[in-house]
Chain A
Amino acid sequence: MPAVSKGDGMRGLAVFISDIRNCKSKEAEIKRINKELANIRSKFKGDKALDGYSKKKYVCKLLFIFLLGHDIDFGHMEAVNLLSSNKYTEKQIGYLFISVLVNSNSDLIRLINNAIKNDLSSRNPTFMNLALHCIANVGSREMAEAFAAEVPRILVAGDTMDSVKQSAALCLLRLNRTSPDLVPMGEWTARVVHLLNDQHLGVVTAATSLITTLAQKNPDDFKTSVSLAVARLSRIVTSASTDLQDYTYYFVAAPWLSVKLLRLLQCYPPPEDAAIRGRLTECLETILNKAQEPPKSKKVQHSNAKNAVLFEAISLIIHHDSEPTLLVRACNQLGQFLQHRETNLRYLALESMCTLASSEFSHEAVKTHIETVINALKTERDVSVRQRAVDLLYAMCDRSNAKQIVAEMLSYLETADYSIREEIVLKVAILAEKYAVDYTWYVDTILNLIRIAGDYVSEEVWYRVIQIVINRDDVQGYAAKTVFEALQAPACHENLVKVGGYILGEFGNLIAGDPRSSPLIQFNLLHSKFHLCSVPTRALLLSAYIKFINLFPEVKGTIQEVLRSDSQLRNADVELQQRAVEYLRLSCIASTDILATVLEEMPPFPERESSILAKLKKKKGPGTVPDPEDNRKERCANINGATNHSSTTANAKASAPSFIGDLLAPVLPPINRPRPVSSLSLLPTPLTPLSLQAYAMPLSPSAGSHFQVSSPASDLLSLGSASTLNSTPPSAPKASASLLVDVFSDNSPTAPIGAPAVVVADENFSRFVCKNNGVLFENQLLQIGLKSEYRQNLGRMYVFYGNKTSTQFHNFTASVVCQDGLNSQLNVHAKPADPMVEGGAQLQQTLNIECLSDFVEAPVLNIQFRYGGILQNISVKLPVTLNKFFQPTEMGSQDFFQRWKQLGAPQQEVQKIFKAMYSMDSEVTKAKIIGFGVALLDGVDPNPSNFVGAGVIHTKTSQVGCLIRLEPNAQAQMYRLTLRTSRDTVSQRLCDLLSDQF
C-alpha cells in the first residue's frame, strides 16, 4: 500500500510549516516568515556552496511562503539550478517552483528552456514527463516557440513510453490552445489519429482530448478519427464490466474515455458510411439500454459514471438530430430523470431536455412532460433547478400550450427569485406575442406582467405592446378599454401609466362613446396619475393630452387650462416646460385641419425583429436563446440540408401565410448586420410621439409642415433605408431651396473672397466623441447645439443655431466643407438654413451624413451672417468621428478571444499607455465606452477591472470589426488601451479618439 508519512524527506520544511500553523496572529506569522526569508537569503548568498538537498529544501520553503500569499523576490536562480540536478526529488521541486512562480517574461526563460530541452532528450521517462508537465503548465509563447516542433515528435515516436505519450499529447494540446500559430500540422497528425487504436487506454484518453481540440479547428484534417472513435466506443460499451480492469470505475467501463469519444464525435455530422453509422447507432442504443438495467451497485459513483456517459450520448443524439427513434428514447429517459430523487439528475434532465425541445422529432415528446416541469417550477428548492425549469417551459412552448405555460410563468413570477425575474418577464412577453391567436389575450398578459412585476418590465416590453396595438386595429378598442380599467386601480405601476397614456392618447376615442369612459373621465383619470410620475412619463402624458385635444374638442378648454398652469408652463424641467408651451401654443393657433394632420394617429411601425427577443439574446449571450420555433425550422433545414427538396419545404413552412405569423413574424436583420442592431428600436424616439418635433419646433404657423415631414422619420430605423434619407421632404418650401449652398455640387469653401480667414474652433470637439448631443460652440452672439443619430454608415445631425441677441441675423448661411481627401471618404449634405434668424430665435438645420470609407479628419461647419451690418465668420469642426459608425457587437468570451487572436498581426494592433486625465470611475468609463459605440462585454476579460468591447465600423465600402481592451491601473493612475481591427488606419484613428476620453 503506497502511503507517505507526514513531511517525509524534508524535516526542516515540516518544522517550518508547523511553526507557521502555530502562529497565533498574522503579525507572528509575518515575523516568522521574515526570519525564514532572512535565513534562506543568507544561505543562498553564503560562501559555502549548498548541496542539492538544502537547495531543494529552501526553494520548497520559498514556494510555501509564496502560496501563503507573500511576495517572493529571490530564489528563482536556485530553482533553475535544481532543474539540472539528476535527482528526481530536486528536479521536481525546481519544476514546481518554475510552474507556479515564473512568469513568461522572466529573464530566466532561456535557462529554463535549456533545462527542459535536456530533460526531453534524456530518454528518462520520469524526467521527460517533468519537462512536458512544465511546458503544459506554463504554456508560454516562448516555450511554444522552443518546443512546438519537438513535442509532436516525442508523441508519435515508436519508442516513447506510454506515460510520456499521455503527457506529450496534452502538452501539445496546451500549446495548440495558447499559440496555435506555432504548432504546425504535419505528417504527425495522421499518426496522432491512430493513437485512438492504442492498447493503453490512458494514451487513448489523452489523445482523444488532443484530437477533439485539433478537430474543432481543422475538422477535415481529422475526419478519419470518426470511424476509429466509433470502433473504440463500440468496444468499450460492449465489453463486460471487468474486461477493462484498471479502467473500470464502479462497474462502469471507462466512463471518462467514453464521454470524450462521444464529445469528439460531436465535432462531426453523422457518419456517411452506413456501416459506421449503424455501429454508432448500436452503441447509442446500448447506452440507452444500460440506463434501464438494474444498477450494478447502489453507490452514487456507479450511477454518476453511468449517467455521465448517458448524458453525453444524448448530447450526441441531439447534435445529430437525425434518428427520430433515438431522440424519442432519449426524451423518455430524461423524462424518468425529471422525477428522480437526485437533484443533480433532475437538473441535468431539465437542461438536456431544453435542447431536445428544439428538435422537430422530439418536440412533441418533450411536451408530454409539461406537468412535471411545471411542478418542478413550484417545488424545487434549488433556484438553479427552477431556472432550468423556466428555460425548458420556454423551449417547449408552442401554440398548443402557450396559454398554460404563460399562465404558469406569470403565477411563478409572483414569488420568483429577484435574480431571474427580468428574464422571466422577457420570456413571458415573447411567448405571449409569438403565440397570441387572440390579441386580447396578449394585451391582458402584458398588463398582468406590469401589474405583477412592473419594476422588471423593461422599456422594450412596453414599447412592444404599443407597437403591436398600433399595428393591429382589431385590438385597439379592447386595449383602450383594458388600460382604462387597469388605470382605475388606486396604485398602479408607472409603466402602466405610460402604456395607458399612450394608448388612450391614440385610441381613447374608441371607448369615448361609453359615458363611463367619456373624454373628460379619461383625461381626469390620466391626470390623476400625473403628479406621481417621473419626468419622462409626464412628458409622455403631455403628448397624450395634446392628442386628446385633437380627438375630443370638448375637453380642449380643460386641457389648455392644465397646460397653462404654472406647474407646467414654468416647470423646472426644460423638456416639460417646452412641451407645455409648445402644445399650448399649437392648440391655440393651429386650425382644426392642421391639428388633425399634426396629431394624426401614429402610422404603423415597420415590422422588425422583436426588440424583446433581441434583449433576451443580449442577456443570455448571442446564440444561446433561440427563438423556439425558428430554431426548430432551422434545424429541420439543417438535417435535411443535403437535398434541395426538403429545405424548400422548410422554407415554405417558414413563410406560410399564417394570419398572425405574417404580422408578427420577427423580421430578422440581414446577415451582414450584427444582431444587436435591432436594439436600436429601443430608443425612445419611435414611441414618444412628437418628441423630436417638440425639441425643435419653431414657434411659427408653418409648424404643420414640419410635423408632416418628420413624422415618419421620427422612427429612427428609417435611417437605415437610403431612400428615406435622401428624399427631400416634399413640402419643403421651394423658395428657400434657391438660397442654398449645395455642398455636393461645390466642395470648395464658400467663404466670400476677402473675408478674413477664421480659425476653426474645435475646443468642444473631443467632448462629442462619446456622446451625440450638446452644445458645440458658443460666443456672445451665437450658440450652436447638436443632436445627432447614427445608423450603420449613415447619420443625421440636427444643428441648432440660437441667436443670443435681440436683433436679427441677416444673410445667414451655414455650410459644411470636407477638406482635402475627406470628401471622398465622407458625404455631408446640409439641408438649407433660413437666411434670417430673428433675435432670440433658434434655427434648425439638418445634415445628412454618409460614411464612404474610414477617415481621420473632421468636416468643418462654416457659418456666415450679418449682425448689425458686420459680416461674421465662424468655423467649427463638426464632431463627425469614425466611431459614430459603430454598431455594437455582443459576443462571448471564447468568441472574443478567438477573434482577438485572429487580429494578431502587428499592424492590426495599436496600443497606447497614457495617464488618466479624469478620476478613474469605472461607471463613467463604462458609459464612455458604450457612448463610443461598441458593446461593452461583461465577464469576457478574466480581470474584471478591465473593460473590453466589440463593434463593427460600417462604411459604404466595407465593414471593419473592432475589438477594444482598456486596462486601468488605479495605482499608477494610468490606462493601457489596446485596439485590434482588421485595418491599421482604423485601429490608429480609434485609438487616438478614445484615448483622449479618460
Chain B
Amino acid sequence: KKNQNTAKYCDRSFGIRFILIQNRAGKTRLAKWYMQFDDDEKQKLIEEVHAVVTVRDAKHTNFVEFRNFKIIYRRYAGLYFCICVDVTDNNLAYLEGIHNFVEVLNEYFHNVCELDLVFNFYKVYTVVDEMFLAGEIRETSQTKVLKQLLMLQSLE
C-alpha cells in the first residue's frame, strides 16, 4: 500500500522546461531551454507561448495551461517573463521566482530596461544560471546572487 502511495508521486516533477522573455511584439529577449527541443520546435513554442500569453488580460490568472504543461507568467512593462513547468508544480513559487529574478536584473542593470537585455544578452545568461540551473531553482538570495555577479564582473 505504501509503495502505491509513493508511486503516485514518482513522476511528479521534472522542473522547469523552459524560460522565455518576450516583448509584446513577440521578439524573444531570452530563451533558456531545459529540455531537448530541435530548432523548429523551439521556434514553434516561442510563437505559441506568445499567442497564448498576450491575449490574456490583467484580471486573468498568471497561469495558463499549455500543451501538457502550464505557463506561469508575469508582465513587466512591455516584457513577458514566462516559465513553463509541469501542471503539478507550485504556481505561486514560480510566479515569485520570476519576480525575484526580475528584481535581481533590476539591481544588476540598475533599473533594467529591455535594451539592457538586448545589449548584454550574454550576461543575462549568467544571471539565469546563477538563479536557475538544470530546470531547478539554484539560489534565491538576492544578496548572494548579486555579490557573485559583482565578483564575476570584476574578473577579466
Q: Answer yes or no: are A and B bound together in one complex.
A: yes
Give the complex CA separation of A126 and B130 in angstroms: 11
Contacts of A245 in B (CB 8 A): 143
Give the complex CA separation of A173 and B13 in angstroms: 12
CB pair A205 B140 closer than 8 Å: yes
Which residue among A201, A216, A895 has the maximum number of chain B CB atoms within 10 Å of its CB?
A216
Give the complex CA separation of A1 and B142 in angstroms: 13
Asked if A835 is an interface residue, CB under 8 A from chain B, the answer is no
CB pair B152 A6 closer than 8 Å: no
* Count of residues in A whose CB is under 8 Å from the partner chain: 88
CB contact under 8 A between A257 and B140, given known A6-B115, A92-B122: yes
CB pair B11 A381 closer than 8 Å: no
> What's the nearest-Cβ distance from chain B to residue A341, in Å?
11
Give the size category of B's interface with A.
Answer: 35 or more
Chain B 24-58, CB-CB to A under 8 Å as 1, else 0, gives: 00001001000111101101100000000000100
> What's the nearest-Cβ distance from chain B to residue A974, in Å?
16
CB pair B137 A209 closer than 8 Å: yes
Asked if A676 is an interface residue, CB under 8 A from chain B, the answer is no
> What's the nearest-Cβ distance from chain A to residue B44, in Å?
7
Asked if A163 is an interface residue, CB under 8 A from chain B, the answer is yes
CB pair B122 A60 closer than 8 Å: yes
> What's the nearest-Cβ distance from chain B to residue A158, in Å?
21
Chain A contact residues: helix, strand, loop or mixed: helix
CB pair B140 A247 closer than 8 Å: yes
> What's the nearest-Cβ distance from chain A to residue B71, in Å?
11
A312 in complex: contacting residue of B93, B119, B140, CB < 8 Å:
B93
Asked if A746 is an interface residue, CB under 8 A from chain B, the answer is no
Contacts of B90 in A (CB 8 A): 259, 263, 308, 311-312
Chain B 128-156, CB-CB to A under 8 Å as 1, else 0, gives: 01000111111111111010111111011
> What's the nearest-Cβ distance from chain A to residue B100, in Å?
7
CB pair B134 A136 closer than 8 Å: yes
> What's the nearest-Cβ distance from chain A to residue B150, in Å?
4
Give the complex CA separation of A14 and B118 in angstroms: 10
CB pair B148 A171 closer than 8 Å: no
Contacts of A894 in B (CB 8 A): 11, 14
CB pair B12 A170 closer than 8 Å: no
Which residues of A893-942 have CB atoms within 8 Å of chain B's CB atoms? 893-895, 898, 939-940, 942
Contacts of A2 in B (CB 8 A): 107-108, 146, 149-150, 153
CB pair A311 B35 closer than 8 Å: no
> What's the nearest-Cβ distance from chain A to residue B11, in Å?
4
CB pair B11 A898 closer than 8 Å: yes
Chain A 437-475, CB-CB to B under 8 Å as 1, else 0, gives: 000000000000000000000000000000000000000
Asked if A879 is an interface residue, CB under 8 A from chain B, the answer is no
> What's the nearest-Cβ distance from chain B to residue A51, in Å?
13
Contacts of A216 in B (CB 8 A): 9-12
CB contact under 8 A between A304 and B96, given known A1-B110, A202-B140, A942-B36: yes
B122 in complex: contacting residue of A93, A126, A247, CB < 8 Å:
A93
Contacts of A872 in B (CB 8 A): none
CB pair A641 B63 closer than 8 Å: no
Chain A 235-260, CB-CB to B under 8 Å as 1, else 0, gives: 00000000001110100001111011
> What's the nearest-Cβ distance from chain B to residue A281, in Å?
18
Chain B 112-133, CB-CB to A under 8 Å as 1, else 0, gives: 0001101111110110010001
> What's the nearest-Cβ distance from chain B to residue A638, in Å?
6
Asked if A7 is an interface residue, CB under 8 A from chain B, the answer is yes
> What's the nearest-Cβ distance from chain B to residue A205, in Å?
6
Chain A 146-166, CB-CB to B under 8 Å as 1, else 0, gives: 000000000000000001001
Asked if A49 is an interface residue, CB under 8 A from chain B, the answer is no
Give the complex CA separation of A774 and B14 in angstroms: 46
CB contact under 8 A between A944 and B44, given known A381-B59, A893-B68: yes
CB contact under 8 A between A206 and B138, given known A304-B95, A895-B11, A939-B67: yes
Contacts of B12 in A (CB 8 A): 216, 263, 266
Which residues of A77-120 have CB atoms within 8 Å of chain B's CB atoms? 87-89, 92-93, 96, 99
CB contact under 8 A between A202 and B138, given known A6-B115, A269-B5: yes
A69, closest chain B residue (CB): B43
Asked if A498 is an interface residue, CB under 8 A from chain B, the answer is no
> What's the nearest-Cβ distance from chain A to residue B17, in Å?
9
Give the complex CA separation of A301 and B40 in angstroms: 36
CB contact under 8 A between A217 and B10, given known A2-B108, A308-B96, A343-B61: yes
CB contact under 8 A between A14 and B119, given known A217-B10, A939-B67: yes
Contacts of A269 in B (CB 8 A): 2, 5-6
Contacts of B10 in A (CB 8 A): 216-217, 267
Asked if B91 is an interface residue, CB under 8 A from chain A, the answer is yes
CB pair B1 A6 closer than 8 Å: no
CB pair B96 A892 closer than 8 Å: no
> What's the nearest-Cβ distance from chain B to residue A986, in Å?
26
CB contact under 8 A between A173 and B92, given known A60-B122, A344-B61: no
Chain B 74-86, CB-CB to A under 8 Å as 1, else 0, gives: 0000000000000
Contacts of A942 in B (CB 8 A): 35-37, 41
CB pair B138 A170 closer than 8 Å: yes
Contacts of B121 in A (CB 8 A): 64, 67
CB pair B40 A133 closer than 8 Å: no
Asked if A476 is an interface residue, CB under 8 A from chain B, the answer is no
A60, closest chain B residue (CB): B122
A129, closest chain B residue (CB): B129
CB pair A4 B123 closer than 8 Å: yes
Contacts of A209 in B (CB 8 A): 15, 136-137
B156, closest chain A residue (CB): A87
Give the complex CA separation of A216 and B136 in angstroms: 16
> What's the nearest-Cβ distance from chain A to residue B79, in Å?
16
CB pair A202 B141 closer than 8 Å: yes
CB pair B13 A4 closer than 8 Å: no
Asked if A665 is an interface residue, CB under 8 A from chain B, the answer is no
Give the complex CA separation of A311 and B63 in angstroms: 15
CB pair A202 B134 closer than 8 Å: no
Asked if A44 is an interface residue, CB under 8 A from chain B, the answer is no
Asked if B23 is an interface residue, CB under 8 A from chain A, the answer is no
Asked if A688 is an interface residue, CB under 8 A from chain B, the answer is no
The 3 closest A-B pairs by CB, nearest first: A641-B1, A3-B110, A308-B92
- Listed by A's residue number, 13 A-B pairs whose Cβ atoms lie within 8 Å are A92-B122, A92-B126, A137-B129, A163-B139, A170-B138, A201-B141, A205-B137, A216-B9, A256-B93, A256-B97, A344-B63, A381-B60, A894-B14
Residues of A within 8 A of B (CB): 1-4, 6-7, 14, 17, 21, 60, 63-64, 67, 69, 87-89, 92-93, 96, 99, 126, 133, 136-137, 139, 163, 166-167, 170-171, 173-174, 177, 201-202, 205-206, 209, 212, 216-217, 219, 245-247, 249, 254-257, 259-260, 263, 266-269, 301, 304-305, 307-308, 311-312, 319, 343-344, 347-348, 381-382, 384-385, 637-638, 641-642, 892-895, 898, 939-940, 942-944
